[in-house]
Structure 1
Amino acid sequence: MMSRRPSPLPDSLPESFSVAQAQDAGVSPRRLRARDLASPFRGVRSRPPAESAAAVDDDASPAANENARLRLTIQRAARAYAARAVPGILYTHVTAAVIWDLPLPLRLLRRGAEAIDVAVLGERRAPKGVGVRGHQLRAELTRTGVRRGLRVAAPASVWVQLAPLLSVGELVELGDAVVHIPRRRGMHRGTPADALAARDALVEAMEAGRRVGAARLRAALGLIRVGAASPPETRIRLACVRRQLPEPLLDVDVFGVDGRPIGFTELAFPDHGVLVEYEGDHHRRSPKQWQRDIEKHADCVAAGWEVVRLTAADLHRDAAPAAAKIAAALARGDLRRSSVPWGRVAAADAAGGDG
């Protein structure tokens, strides 16, 4: 005998909802016990996620797919817990970083998928329960914001909260993402207001009080720059610093010798006529992007630039292969300097700047 299919739920109910919400919408207790509904937290039910297939891209790397799946898991758990309508809670640490779309290593995303970070401010008792990592935080040390309808620790606060769990290099990657000013379109730059936070906010968060991992935060702060749009770009820059190469300019508009705009590139060494492009998965998987890259690189070469194209393979061993390729190109640039003119550039932030 075939089992009856559960009756449809009211359209007014979101993906995750409280039992009280469902009962107010006329859903019976029996329907709330049906097997098609998960119970991620006490008093909460969740429908099967409609976008589950979107978490897997057959053409992406296993690490990229795992990253996407873990982020979806954490976001769904945060939305589900919010359905309990517990007053005064906020999301912090790994959970907040995911809600802000900040980069994290896979080991922290795996930790975040096991239990979400939920906090209260002041003297109230920290939340607890299965799937919850509770925190009791001092209000004067924690700035808050709202993202996707959820109350979260502000990006600068998240940066200091994760100091005990991240290396200096990973804190630089996270800080670069916080202060990054995204492009609005093509060669149209955004403004400082488009960043999640300014460097001053990182300083304020670090100096607000005693912090675990303060030495790592101070070391990372001195290396954070405006202009890095992804962790690979940060890793390449830090590899150049470790090798004692000149520090590159970031997020660079490139122009030909005649002043014609060509496009923008991730890193540039204008004194040596060298541009650096990191070819991420999206460059490989998008035929349109790939064609644009080919045309841009040809225009750069015609304008006298040498373009160093890097991939994920060049990031192994702390990006030492990337730094070696860049060092060789800089040496060639020194030899070409007196005989080959090249165009000019305009960067988001001068190398060594505070951001």
Structure 2
Amino acid sequence: MNGERDRGLWITAARARGARHSEGMNPLGSESVFLVGDARRAGHPRRWIDGGQFDRPYRGVRALHVDDGGDQPHLQQRTAIVRAALVFAAHMHPAEYFSHTTAAIMWELPLPLLPDAQPHVSVPGRAPRIRGIHGHQIDPALSRVVEHPTYGVRVADAATTWAMLGGMLRHPYDLVALGDAVVRVPRIPGHSARIERDAWGTLADLEAAVHAGRRRGASPLREALARIRPGVASRMETWVRLIVIDAGLPEPVTDHDVFDRHGGFVGCVDLAYPELRIAIEYEGDQHRTDQRQWHRDIEKHERLADLGWRVIRVSRDQVFRDPASIAQRVRRAIDAAR
């Protein structure tokens, strides 16, 4: 593929809003797709179009085959869903938009492992019935649709996405975790507290989405809304916070910066009781596999101990298999500190 006949052949999600690219073969890597009709008009033979290097996700569409590799099922699934969505975006109807769990993944909101990687597509009119797609008919009053800042496709905004999942997520903690992620303002901890980006939405946005009209899962949404907090960096941190609260313990502070007596920055802890000098840290797998992260954690926890802090470290296995043990450890630490 080269020259003028290839101009505009390779497309991505930008195709959905009328844009084309002219950088030659596969300018945007693994997410490049093209329409069969465009390839034929560009002079490519059918044998090439139907070659084994391309997947056939939908009728009339080809996508460069990509092996996402890796051994992390959540990451693999999120990659597969985004890729499938961008492929479908090549021939989306102007009224269609990505929604539900697909929109959540595009907004990088935390989800449990999903039953499949098929994109969710919504429309005000009749729900799309297309192989490989979960189609939905949504009342326009219940959905605010925007152009995604990264992918350039039509997508339910983050607050709407959260509300759409009120009837889909099985565990109430996950609905809170999703809301925590919507209102979170990522920052660089320490003296500067530099903001990395604005939140995808506010508590007021979430409340407006709940009260926009009758929707599935309204009761779980209202219950979750009261428990959402800013400053929570991960799904597991939400789970740990709620495990502690639901055990009858005081609510810990989120995203807490600790400084020494001279004003030097010691570190940021996931959850804390500052007046008792108790920190609760979730140890994700990256804390084990990333050597630099591991060494930073050791240094931070040693400095916290020097300042009289008690650090309670929590693993994924404890969260899902033995949550009561987390609450017991926190309770013992609180009793000892008082």
TM-score if structure 2 supplies the norm length?
0.86
Task: Output aligned runs, 1:231-310, within 5 Å.
Answer: 231-310=235-314
Matched, 1:39 2:56: yes
Helix, strand or coil at the partner of 1:135: strand
Give the CA deviation at 1:260: 2.1
1:191 is displaced (CA, Å) by 5.0
Structure 1 residues 280, 88: CA separation in 2 closer, same or farther (over 3 Å shift)?
Answer: same
Task: Mark the runs of 5 or more structure 2 residues left unpaired by the alignment.
Answer: 1-9, 11-23
Say how many residue pairs are matched: 310
Counterpart residue number, 2:4: none
Asked if 1:330 is matched to 2:337, the reply is no
2:115 to 110, 115, 132: 110
Structure number with greater CO (CA < 8 Å, separation at least 6) is 1
> Which stretch shows the higher mean deviation, 316-325 or 239-248?
316-325
What's the CA shift for 1:171?
0.6
Deviates more, 1:187-196 or 1:250-259: 187-196
Check conservation: 2:279, 2:309, Cα contact below 8 A. yes
CA drift at 1:175: 0.6
After superposition, what is the alpha-carbon deviation per residue over 1:329-348, rounded to whole angstroms, capped at 9, x for unaligned? 111111xxxxxxxxxxxxxx
Partners of 1:141 and 1:71 lie apart in 2 by 25
Q: For residue 249 of structure 2, give the secondary structure of its aligned residue in structure 1.
A: coil
What does residue 136 of structure 1 align with? 137
Residue type of the partner of 1:294? I
1-structure distance, mates of 2:106, 2:95: 18
Unmatched segments (≥5 aa) in structure 1: 1-8, 58-64, 335-355
Identity of aligned residues (%): 39
Contact 2:279 2:310 in 1 (8 A): yes
- Secondary structure of the 2:94 match is coil
Of 130-139 and 28-37, the range deviating more from structure 2: 28-37
Partner of 2:25: 11
Match of 1:80 among 78, 87, 105: 87
Partner SS, residue 251 of structure 1: strand
Distance 1:154 1:250 in 2: 25
Q: 1:212 to 1:271 in 2, by over 3 A?
A: same
Output the CA distance in 1 between the equivalents of 2:197 and 2:212. Answer: 22
Alpha-carbon contact 1:308-1:325 (below 8 Å) kept: yes
2:26 and 2:244 mapped to 1: Cα distance? 54
- Check whether the contact 1:192–1:198 (CA below 8 A) recurs between aligned residues: no
Q: Could you give the per-residue CA deviations for residues 133-152 of structure 1, whole angstroms, max 9, x where no partner exists?
A: 11121222101122211211
| 1:311-339 Cα deviation digits (max 9, x unpaired) | 123213472222211111111111xxxxx
Distance in 2 (CA, whole Å) between partners of 1:272 and 1:32 is: 66
1:28 matched to 2:42? The reply is no
**2:159 paired with 1:156:** yes
Alpha-carbon offset, residue 217 of structure 1: 0.6
Deviations 1:96-141 (A, max 9, x none): 11111111111xx223x1x3211112xx322111101111212221
Compared CA separation, residues 160 and 190, structure 1 to 2 (3 A): farther
Q: Aligned letter for 1:11?
A: M
CA RMSD of aligned residues (A): 2.0
**Structure 2 counterpart of 1:86, one-letter code:** H
Q: 1:70 maps to what in 2?
A: 77
Q: 1:211 and 1:256, CA in 2 relative to 1: closer, same or farther beyond 3 A?
A: same
DSSP-derived class of the 1:183 partner: coil
CA–CA separation in structure 2 for the residues paired with 1:79 and 1:237:
35
TM-score relative to the length of structure 1: 0.82
Question: What pairs up with 1:174-253 in 2 under 5 angstroms?
Answer: 174-184=178-188, 188-191=192-195, 194-253=198-257
- Does the 8 A contact of 1:235 with 1:319 survive in 2? no
